[in-house]
A = this chain, B = another copy of it.
Amino acid sequence: MPSPAKAQPDKYELVSELAKRRGFFWPSYEIYGGVSGFVTFGAYGAALKRRIEDKFRRFFLNPYGMIEIESSIITPAKVFEASGHLAHFKEPLVECLKCKRRFRADHLLQEQAKMTDTETEKLSLKELETTIKTKNIRCPECNSTTWGKPKHFLTMFQTTIGPYASAEATGYGRPEAAQGIFVEFKRLYEQTREKLPLGIAQIGHALRNEISPRQGLIRLREFTIMDVEFFFDPEEPCTWLKHMENETLRIIPAELKLKGKKEPITITTKDALTRGIVKTEWQAFFMALAKQFLIQLGVPEEKQRFIEKLPWEKAHYSLQSFDQEIFLDRWGWTEVSGLAYRADYDLKQHMQHSGADMQVYKEYPKPVTKEVLTIKPNMAKLGPVFKKDAAKIAEQLKNADANEVQTSLEKKGYYTLDAYKILPEHVEITKAKVEEKGKRFIPHVVEPSFGSDRLAYIALEYAYEQKKDRALLKLPRDVAPVQVGVFPLMNRDGLTERAMEIARKLTGEGFTVEYDDSGSIGRRYARMDEVGTPLCVTIDYTTLKDQTVTIRDRDSWKQVRTDVSELVKGLHEYFSYDKEFKDLGEPVKE
């Protein structure tokens, strides 16, 4: 019998091998046996990730005047009590009674019973227990089918702040950077001169104590989150929507998802809003922006989609949520960003728990006249009936909601105040016109949220190609970790010195440069192709004669020749997308 054909490695395997060998990323602490959920980014990976974060600033934040802050990862428990994380940031855990290993109960059902996450997220602990039994789920470690009762596990890292071990001193690693923004909202609003809309971003490490993380860069216990909390007045229109209204989105709305539909509808942001598929203009705007951002990182439109979260899938704070998903070779459709309409949930919670006023004041363009009802207690009638309580009742009536009192009197013929029955004759309700200059309200929030580690992986997978049996990363030029390779053709005759001089000059100009003089020129090009360096400059004998160098393109493997004096300007234009490779010099014949 012939041995089974060796399976082709998938892109995840190819990218991971390259990433480990060349220094993009790899599992951390392997010399100590490794700890799942943690990765280390090497020189190329850290640079790629940083460039993606910078691109996020340049593309997503700066053009829209959003600001960026930095708060701490360790956060006192009070914050997560208010935000609802302590109650909700949990996952169902189940223990194998034989080998004592613990697993995500829902993941076991997804893997062994082929249930979808939409199906499993709906299940209560009791239902999970029953389903594990009926589906005959086996322990992935020891194959046993005897399971403990599923229970909820808080997936935040817990610690103690300071030298006292008390509940007061409990802290958690933040699972999102959002709360660091919400708790400081009022101060940030004042510092930015009290204007809405106000976008506040944060890029930094976040921690989630996953029960059993796998999938490399896709599910980490420590990762870099890029959260935008965008505060706006829900009564005002989205000022930037006009730039995006004809942008198309591929969406699977909750309604279709419930019907088991897996194909997205393609629709403009404008139509998605008109048809009520997306509830808030600002959310539609950010969905379009998020789509464009991923396109710029190398993921074409047809490999992207937005999938609406069902009521039981949404985070506890969300009115409407979409996951932006992109297609990965091994993992299929994978979440790359979440777009949640958090409304006023978080600010309201912090307002209630801390007592700090999170409302903003908005002055109307011109004062608005409103009819206001006022209650005037009729003491002549109240006195005889309620005796010594009459004064207290009169006071309470003044503070009662006049609309409510009137409605009750009209509908039921009386109004109940504590234990007292108030009749129409006890009060006089008058109408008055009041001029309001503005309103106080809690801003609403839409939150687009990315992870830069995952984006780095996605950029790598989409950039990965094989050409003539070797790997090539066609990374977008503005996120490539090295911008320019600089090589002397030979290690003699002054070529090395001249090449080093040019490398130093380019470094001084702010380019990321790698100088390399070892091995054949072909091998040096190959090394640069493999880490995605868009351009390589070679210094040859002609350089010494006429001060020209060749520039070689990663994608076409073509070369042009240009004057050294033109090099800096040309590269600046190339990397800011003002010029294409072919315009950097005269073509070199092959």
Contact = CB atoms under 8 A, between A and B. Distances in A.
Contact of A183 (B32, B74, B221): B32
Nearest to A351: B31
B160 A222 contact: no
Contact of A157 (B69, B159, B221, B504): B159
Nearest to A193: B518
Contacts of A52: none
Given A23-B191, A29-B79, A191-B22, A40 B354 contact: no
Report, as a range, how many residues of chain A touch the other chain. Answer: 35 or more
A507 interface: yes
A580 interface: no
B43 A173 contact: no
Nearest to A20: B187
Interface string A188-220: 100111000000000011010111100000000
Contacts of A157: 74, 159-161, 171
Interface stretch (A60-68, A319-327, A537-545): A60-68
A150 interface: no
Interface in A356-381: 356
A350 B30 CA distance: 12
A451 to B, nearest CB: 14
A256 interface: no
A76 interface: yes
A163 interface: yes
A97 interface: no
Name which of A29, A37, A58 has the most chain B CB atoms within 10 A of its CB.
A29
Contacts of A47: 68
Contact of A42 (B28, B40, B58, B188): B188
Contact of A31 (B38, B222, B350, B510): B350
Given A45-B70, A73-B205, 7 more contacts: A28-B72, A32-B354, A40-B69, A41-B69, A46-B70, A74-B157, A74-B221
19 contacts: A21-B191, A29-B183, A32-B78, A32-B79, A35-B171, A37-B162, A42-B184, A43-B188, A45-B70, A62-B512, A63-B504, A63-B507, A73-B207, A93-B163, A157-B159, A157-B161, A159-B173, A162-B209, A162-B212
List the 6 shortest-distance A-B pairs measured between CB atoms, nearest first.
Answer: A23-B191, A43-B67, A31-B356, A31-B354, A41-B70, A46-B70
